[in-house]
Structure 1
Amino acid sequence: MYDIGVAITGTGFMGPAHTEALRRLGVRIVGILGSSPEKSRRFADAHGIAKAYTNFDEILADDEVQAVHITTPNRWHFATAKAALLAGKHVLCEKPLTMNSRESAELVELAQSVKLAAGVNYNYRFYPTSLEARARVRTGKIGEVLSVFGNYVQDWLLYPTDYNWRVLASEGGRLRAVADIGTHWMDLVQTITGLEIEEVFADLRTVFPTRYRPQGEVETFSAKTATHQETDAIPIETEDMGAVLLRFKNGARGALWVSQLTAGRKNSLRYEIAGAQDAIWFDGERPNELWIGHRNQPNEHLFKDASLMDAAVGRYIDYPGGHNEGYPDSFKMCFRAFYDYIAAGDFDATPFFPTFEEGHREILLCEAILRSHDEQRWAKVEG
């Protein structure tokens, strides 16, 4: 469907997710780069990919590659995204975009100067029900937004023996739960409402200041299915959970709870947006449903169905009503928006995919949240 070649960096949890979504979309994957030549070759062989790169310079020099998907740990995002853009390649980067706002601001300026597509994979935007929520809120159907609250909680780091590179500040930055999953929630509610968060008050907690790293490699979410006999004690600086109070630019108030230590919640993202007329509730573990609350008439339960939703949502629905679309489909639809933009060729147009500018805004939010927690006060979002 798209006349473009793509290279992927990273073979962990996100590498296969990007590979599958790109193939379902009809995008040709030219090659893969892992953290070692052996990993690159194993992944390429397992997924039927022709090229297994040994270093990133090989991607930059490959004329078959017009776009790069970055799925490596956070500390590599800035350097690889910058190099790819300078080499004339479009970039789709996993979140968070960079380790700090200085880096993300530089990437925003670079992307604007080279006139290339530069996106961040905030894939939760592309659940059809959340696209419908966006259409309803932005057209004023629920009235002025008064409040926004919700959570993003998981249980995969519930025990001190649960371990992954994400718990290390050196790999992902000092914020973990907020940066890894909280930014998904904040991006989503800001996109739906069209309102920016301008001030935050945060209270974060590291439940396990020491975790026990298994000797050998550990893939994301693998702790529940793998047993490791030998471990090393590792000091932890990143937070396991936290609460953030929010003030939006229109005066609306909000609250977010994030945790990776909530037993039984595997990947629970929920939001409620209350307007002056109606309210909307979404539960990411039931993503094909949208609850719509009313004051003076019965509440509604809308199930994903293109024929019953805003016309613009249809581009991001591939199956008829009653046929569920979920997490893997959200990747495919985010990438569809990205490659539609490239195919259109107008790089001055407003993208529908999450941009580097929006990724930069999330970094500024994270820095404000960390500053608020450290100083125990309200902190304004800079920039």
Structure 2
Amino acid sequence: MIKSPRVLIHGTGFAGQGHAEAFCYAGAEVVGIVGRTDSVTRQVAKDMNIAYAGTDWAQALSDCKPDIVSIATPGGAHYEAIKLAIAHGCHIFCDKPMTTDGESAEELYHLAEAKNVKTAYAASFRYMPHVLFAKRLVAEGAIGEPQEVECISHFSLEKEIPFGWSHRKEEGGGRLNNNFTHKLSIVTSVVGEKILAISGEVRDDLREAPIVKGVHNFKTRRDHIPDDLNDPDLEWGESNVEWSYCVLAKLKSPFGPRPVSVLFKHGGLHPRFKEDHIVFYGSKGALYIAGHYGSGPLFHYGEDKQWMELPLPEDIAANIPNVDGDTERNWRYLISEFVKDVRGDDVPPYQTFKEGSLYQRLIDIIRKNDRWVDVSDLQNPDAR
């Protein structure tokens, strides 16, 4: 049993700082932080009152001797950092994506299992309050047998956002890694964790983005959009990853005998007309949650054939971490559960490297985009 786990953070940006705050909230001791740039890392450590700041991950593991490491860098930097942490016997909290591909993620999952270290995978929007409420309602039979789920979102992201890791497959970019992971986690948490089948397509609607120096915090990247996109001296980076996707899945549910059909439709660059949403349809009703990640409110369609907004139960509302931002609240929720587990307390199941590696393998399958059936000849019978 570890009363106050020692935590080393890998990453100094939005996620790194958010993880550090969440571990402090959970009662752990953040003993160090590691980043790429010495001056930035030292400044973040000073601002957050973290004693150790460094740029060498291996050295930091030896110097700080953490019980837990928190991986908060872009996905392309996860593999080596996690592998070293496993070798040191550290428990690991990792933001999504786990790595850049299914093969490397699966390797890390097996290494962690062999070393007997605890892992947590932060596709953490399953902890949105209204998602937790939907999970309870489905389990109580509010919609009968789950039959269909619809997840629709359009983000209207600016095409001029500066070029960075989110534009490159090898660095963990793409909307599957950074949107679909949360959506899949939400849906499986409500209707059932067993994924039976999946298919989909991806599309790069962007192709290039301006290269701008000085972008450090992912959350404030919009502030660095160039004023003059026609500047002849402006350099451009090539996108090689999806900005839109459409995925179909079938899930096994403990609440019904037949597979549940799921549609995930996302356009990262396209404008929304009405609100993004998640809908769970069943044999006796439906649940509608407004917002792309289920921010609410939640409406129930029942036997009276009317949509009615349902208030959030008091016990769920009382358990929401007190911090601004959905991302930050969900980190705190999951990290609190993870820290309790490391301490030796009993906690409900949470997603681990098992799910993280599965998600990366599913993304590999979707990106192959090879599930199409050529029907062009059917429109020209004479050619057959």
1:180 to partner: Cα distance: 1.1
Which SS does the other structure have where 1:62 is aligned?
helix
Per the alignment, residue 177 of structure 1 pairs with 175
Per the alignment, residue 289 of structure 1 pairs with 297
Residues 57-86 of structure 1, C-alpha deviations (whole Å, 9 max, x = no match): 123213551100001111221221121122
Per the alignment, residue 239 of structure 1 pairs with 242
**Which moves more between the two structures, 212-221 or 74-83?**
212-221
Which SS does the other structure have where 1:181 is aligned?
helix
Which SS does the other structure have where 1:330 is aligned?
helix
Report how many aligned residue pairs link the two structures: 361
- Higher Cα radius of gyration: 2
Is 1:144 the equivalent of 2:151? no
Per the alignment, residue 363 of structure 2 pairs with 366
Over 3 Å counting, the alpha-carbon distance change for 1:257 and 1:2 in structure 2 is farther
Per the alignment, residue 328 of structure 1 pairs with 328
2:133 and 2:313 in contact (8 A); partners too: no
Over 3 Å counting, the alpha-carbon distance change for 1:168 and 1:327 in structure 2 is closer
Over 3 Å counting, the alpha-carbon distance change for 1:316 and 1:111 in structure 2 is farther
Residues 258-297 of structure 1 mapped to structure 2, 5 A cutoff: 258-263=266-271, 270-284=277-291, 287=295, 289-296=297-304
Q: Distance in 2 between matches of 1:235 and 1:192?
A: 38
Q: Distance in 2 between matches of 1:325 and 1:306?
A: 20
Per the alignment, residue 376 of structure 1 pairs with 372
Per the alignment, residue 185 of structure 2 pairs with 187
Unaligned 5+ segments in structure 2 are 253-257, 375-384
Letter in 2 for 1:246: A
Is 1:352 the equivalent of 2:352? no
2:143 and 2:302 in contact (8 A); partners too: no
Identity %: 23
Q: CA RMSD in A?
A: 2.8
Which SS does the other structure have where 2:211 is aligned?
strand
Over 3 Å counting, the alpha-carbon distance change for 1:46 and 1:353 in structure 2 is same
TM-score between the two structures when normalised by the length of structure 2: 0.84
1:185 and 1:269 in contact (8 A); partners too: no
1:352 to partner: Cα distance: 2.2
TM-score between the two structures when normalised by the length of structure 1: 0.84
Over 3 Å counting, the alpha-carbon distance change for 1:336 and 1:247 in structure 2 is same
Q: Distance in 1 between matches of 2:62 and 2:295?
A: 41
Q: Distance in 2 between matches of 1:152 and 1:99?
A: 23
Over 3 Å counting, the alpha-carbon distance change for 1:20 and 1:270 in structure 2 is farther
Residues 113-132 of structure 1 mapped to structure 2, 5 A cutoff: 113-132=114-133
Over 3 Å counting, the alpha-carbon distance change for 1:37 and 1:232 in structure 2 is same
Letter in 2 for 1:290: L
1:151 and 1:185 in contact (8 A); partners too: no
1:215 and 1:232 in contact (8 A); partners too: no
Q: Distance in 2 between matches of 1:335 and 1:103?
A: 24
1:316 to partner: Cα distance: 3.7
1:288 and 1:324 in contact (8 A); partners too: no
**Which moves more between the two structures, 298-307 or 67-76?**
298-307
